Structure 1
Amino acid sequence: MTKQRLVILGAGESGVGTALLGKKKGYEVFVSDKGKIKEKYKQVLIHNEIEWEDEKHSEEKILNANTVMKSPGIPDKVDLIKQIRTKGIKVVSEIEFASKYTDAIIVGITGSNGKTTTASLTHHIIKQELNVGLGGNIGDSFAKQVLEHDFKNYVLEISSFQLDDIIDFKPHIAVITNITPDHLDRYDYQFENYIASKFRIAINQTKHDYLIYDADDEVITNHLKEYPVQSTLLPFSLKKTIKNGAYLDKEKIIITIDNNQIIMPTTNLALEGKHNIKNAMAASTVAHLLKIRKQTIRESLENFQGVEHRLEQVLKINKVQYINDSKATNVNATYYALESMDTPTVWIVGGTDKGNDYEELFQFVNEKVKAIICLGVDNEKLMNTFGNMVDIIIETQFMSEAVKIAYKIAEAGDNVLLSPACASFDLFENYEDRGRQFKNAVRNL
């Protein structure tokens, strides 16, 4: 019997993890990357005798595949992907491929914002009592973990791009944190397409599975009315009383599942801000479903350290607090950041604009922002949008310069906030690179 041929496009964390799992499961594996493969990944492929190429895609080696696993970064409109689909070759994402080889309980978390914090927080709570891995869009490759650890449970942070390439993937517990316009460049600038993509997380769920979601988010609630899902619904809300799910009553989170109720005080939550109460509700609801003890949930919420590049307090210099929120790659994420500022703020913003509408930020900019530093290749839209709202608006293309300017403008008691509201690819490798450059520049002041 001839071996099934698995071709992997993109040799990053998920690609190389899938290659290792595929080889172990008896596939003939070929890895192809249009860019240069990082040395550490190249060494893994060589060591495991997996055939690879970089800086090109050889069609004759790709179009004879049975299955193609493509990196979530590759859009469907690329010619090669169109050819693959025309030939009827199955295209899957890493989570689709890897989930076939595990019987674990999967918690899948998606949303425009808050998914990394919610996934990290959920994992932090569950790992106190259960055997659990954290993967997907975060940390180690899910496929590699299935191969090496075979955890009994997984918490996966899942992007819409990963959900676009699922067929049978079904998390037992799905979470949608919120849905706001993002990545519309990949969805023909149709918000509906992006919403539908997020809801694919529940597409294969049955009534024995659960969907946890923000009931205050009209985009989600309207979509559910129009396109009901099979799953058992467990909403969470800051505004209304919820019979089955979670809600806020004064300063307490109340979670009810099948008449089994737990109550959590929010006064000592490690993470600040309203949006983090929602993240805590989602994570606690998952933990409650998985029968984690109330005491464990409460302690975990109080000692969770947060996520790097997400409202991360870097240093205080001359009574000015420097905050790294480089992970804010869309307007809604920056909305949460500005909302949580309680002193005058010097705001560093900009990057690759994905069709942003900045209007929802106006109230905070008027109220809290004393100066804006635009950090991008093309800052025209930002300059036009905010130019009349603040006394000082400056543009630069260097992080070190942006931080030096902020240092000159900020006075004792102010915040300097990097919260770009844009993707990072114009000047940086990714949002992590942008955040680290910011932290280094602050440390070098």
Structure 2
Amino acid sequence: MIHKQKIAILGAGESGAGTAILAKKEGFEVFVSDFGKIKEKYKSVLEELKVEWEEGGHTESKLLDADIIMKSPGIPDSATIVKKLVSQGIPVVSEIEFASKYTDAKIIAITGSNGKTTTTKWIHHILKNARISAGIAGNVGDSFAKQVAEEKFDWYVLELSSFQLDGIVDFKPHIAVLTNITPDHLDRYNYNLDEYVASKFRITKNQTEEDFFIYDADDNIITEWLNTHSVRAQKLPFSLQKKLEKGAYLEDNNIKINTLNTQFIMPTSSIALEGKHNTKNAMAASTVANLLKIRKETIRASMEGFQAVEHRLEKVLKINNVLYINDSKATNINATYYALDSMESETIWIVGGVDKGNNYSELLPLVNEKVKAIICLGVDNSRIFEAFGNCVDIMVETQFMEEAIKIAYKLGEKGNVVLLSPACASFDLFENYEDRGRQFKDAVRNL
């Protein structure tokens, strides 16, 4: 009798449930284990699959009996059970690694500290408009593994975090995009920036000379790494600051893209989303489109017609001539820098949450120039007070979104902007950044 390969899945969220679907289809004996409580919608998936599962702890003997482990990205490598499995020589991989073995589709993979969701959705939007068969997965949409099991796409556009990239072995995207690198999630990387950078560059690990690597040439961390490491893929940089022979650059308010002996030119005025960071996201997305030889008219129409990602500089409402903007997805300093940089009116800034070791000094020039009041929304706001106490006349703190919006409403004057751009994670007061953004929008609509 042929031994059925055994897979143990750590974590029963979107990636865990999706991996269970694909593993069952591919003939694996599946065991799912979650240290916490499994959401009802994923429980019903596991019940329907008739796979064995547990919650509220791990049965070590069953995990050690597996031939392969799929670890959900939220579980750190430092977790005791993960270290034990690795020490026993059991391969521990990510959903992305596992699922990629069961599809022939070509992959466009996007990573970066900021801008990856917008760039991923923008690329998928262009592909859809060009009638190219493409799925969207990773940190967005349905699980990659689930789609590999149930769909038949020619291409996948994957948004990948450093945590997902940490679990790859053979995964190879045909086109890799690195939007930028700024210090983020350093608590998962021993507070060592070099480890985090190396994690991001794993996206290029298995690429060959036939593949492509698109990256921000204005990003010092990226360019320094490339000066001392080799990437086999063909490099296509993008830049707002310098003219490039290959890749994308800005000249006379036009984006110019040169790839594979074809050129594409588009005025920045026709880009749907505002801000320098979105010009860069547009450069990355249209470089991908140009590589795929998508018609120039389709690329232009897709650049003009793209809708902003929810919780990323999302204009909610204008009340008494005060505009309320939801940028809850800004969970680090760099994302908030871009948000403040794109403000053209006096701003009431809502900031705070779980600080990841932020260096707020980078924001000082923008706060001095643009911010008239700061509302701290977090359990511990001491570092924000310390950083900006001398910059603005009005600083208040609260632990309730509704109260934050009422304060902002009182402070707001004609032409002002109220900007939620926290520069911090959300877990002290909210379920996640989406919950924080939705509460912001609800509170604004209830004014």
TM-score, normalized by length of structure 1? 0.99
Mapped to 2, the partners of 1:359 and 1:126 lie a distance apart of 40
- Match for residue 288 of structure 2? 286
1:258, CA displacement in angstroms?
Answer: 2.3
- Match for residue 12 of structure 1? 13
Q: Deviations over 1:83-105 (max 9, x none)?
A: 11111110100110000001111
Q: Deviations over 1:160-194 (max 9, x none)?
A: 00000100001000000000100011110110100
Instruction: Read off the aligned partner of 1:286 and give its amino acid letter.
Output: V
Mapped to 2, the partners of 1:434 and 1:45 lie a distance apart of 29
Q: Deviations over 1:130-182 (max 9, x none)?
A: 00011001111011111111210000000000000100001000000000100
- Match for residue 236 of structure 1? 238
- Match for residue 48 of structure 1? 49
Mapped to 2, the partners of 1:290 and 1:278 lie a distance apart of 19
1:426, CA displacement in angstroms?
Answer: 1.0
- The answer on whether the counterparts of 2:353 and 2:377 sit within 8 Å (CA) in structure 1 is yes
SS at match of 1:127: helix
- Match for residue 391 of structure 1? 393
Q: Deviations over 1:184-236 (max 9, x none)?
A: 11110110100000000001101100000001111111100100111100001
Instruction: Read off the aligned partner of 1:113 and give its amino acid letter.
Output: N
Mapped to 1, the partners of 2:382 and 2:48 lie a distance apart of 48
Matched, 1:98 2:110: no
Q: Deviations over 1:273-326 (max 9, x none)?
A: 011010000000001111111100000000001100000001111111100000
Q: What's the RMSD between the two structures over aligned residues?
A: 0.8
- The answer on whether the counterparts of 2:260 and 2:291 sit within 8 Å (CA) in structure 1 is no
Identity across aligned pairs (percent)?
68
Alignment of 1:324-343 (within 5 A): 324-343=326-345
Mapped to 2, the partners of 1:139 and 1:387 lie a distance apart of 41
Instruction: Read off the aligned partner of 2:419 and give its amino acid letter.
Output: L
- The answer on whether the counterparts of 2:12 and 2:42 sit within 8 Å (CA) in structure 1 is yes
- Match for residue 162 of structure 2? 160
1:265, CA displacement in angstroms?
Answer: 1.6
Alignment of 1:240-319 (within 5 A): 240-319=242-321
Mapped to 2, the partners of 1:315 and 1:51 lie a distance apart of 48
1:57, CA displacement in angstroms?
Answer: 1.5
- Match for residue 116 of structure 1? 117
Mapped to 2, the partners of 1:418 and 1:71 lie a distance apart of 30
Mapped to 2, the partners of 1:399 and 1:35 lie a distance apart of 27
1:386, CA displacement in angstroms?
Answer: 1.0
Mapped to 2, the partners of 1:238 and 1:399 lie a distance apart of 37
Mapped to 2, the partners of 1:440 and 1:34 lie a distance apart of 33
1:335, CA displacement in angstroms?
Answer: 0.3
- Match for residue 198 of structure 2? 196
SS at match of 2:257: strand
- Match for residue 72 of structure 1? 73
SS at match of 1:73: coil
Instruction: Read off the aligned partner of 1:47 and give its amino acid letter.
Output: E
5+ residue gaps, structure 1: none
- Match for residue 226 of structure 1? 228
Instruction: Read off the aligned partner of 2:56 and give its amino acid letter.
Output: E
Mapped to 1, the partners of 2:6 and 2:74 lie a distance apart of 22
Mapped to 2, the partners of 1:61 and 1:425 lie a distance apart of 32
Mapped to 2, the partners of 1:319 and 1:30 lie a distance apart of 56
- Match for residue 131 of structure 1? 133
Alignment of 1:339-418 (within 5 A): 339-418=341-420
1:62, CA displacement in angstroms?
Answer: 1.4
SS at match of 1:297: helix
- Match for residue 187 of structure 2? 185
SS at match of 2:325: strand
- Match for residue 175 of structure 2? 173
Instruction: Give structure 1 regions of 4+ aligned residues with deviation exceeding 3 angstroms.
Output: none
Mapped to 2, the partners of 1:99 and 1:34 lie a distance apart of 26
Mapped to 1, the partners of 2:8 and 2:371 lie a distance apart of 49
SS at match of 2:387: helix
- Match for residue 433 of structure 2? 431
1:390, CA displacement in angstroms?
Answer: 0.7
- Match for residue 62 of structure 2? 61
Mapped to 1, the partners of 2:347 and 2:415 lie a distance apart of 9
SS at match of 1:103: coil
SS at match of 2:129: coil
Mapped to 2, the partners of 1:362 and 1:424 lie a distance apart of 22
Mapped to 2, the partners of 1:34 and 1:65 lie a distance apart of 17
Which shows bigger deviation, 250-259 or 106-115?
A: 250-259
Instruction: Read off the aligned partner of 1:38 and give its amino acid letter.
Output: K
- Match for residue 32 of structure 1? 33
1:264, CA displacement in angstroms?
Answer: 1.2
1:54, CA displacement in angstroms?
Answer: 1.2
Mapped to 1, the partners of 2:349 and 2:264 lie a distance apart of 39
Mapped to 2, the partners of 1:210 and 1:285 lie a distance apart of 10
1:80, CA displacement in angstroms?
Answer: 0.7
1:9, CA displacement in angstroms?
Answer: 0.9
Mapped to 2, the partners of 1:57 and 1:319 lie a distance apart of 54
SS at match of 2:269: coil
- Match for residue 151 of structure 1? 153
Q: Deviations over 1:59-88 (max 9, x none)?
A: 122121111111111111111111111111
The count of residues paired between Structure 1 and Structure 2 equals 445
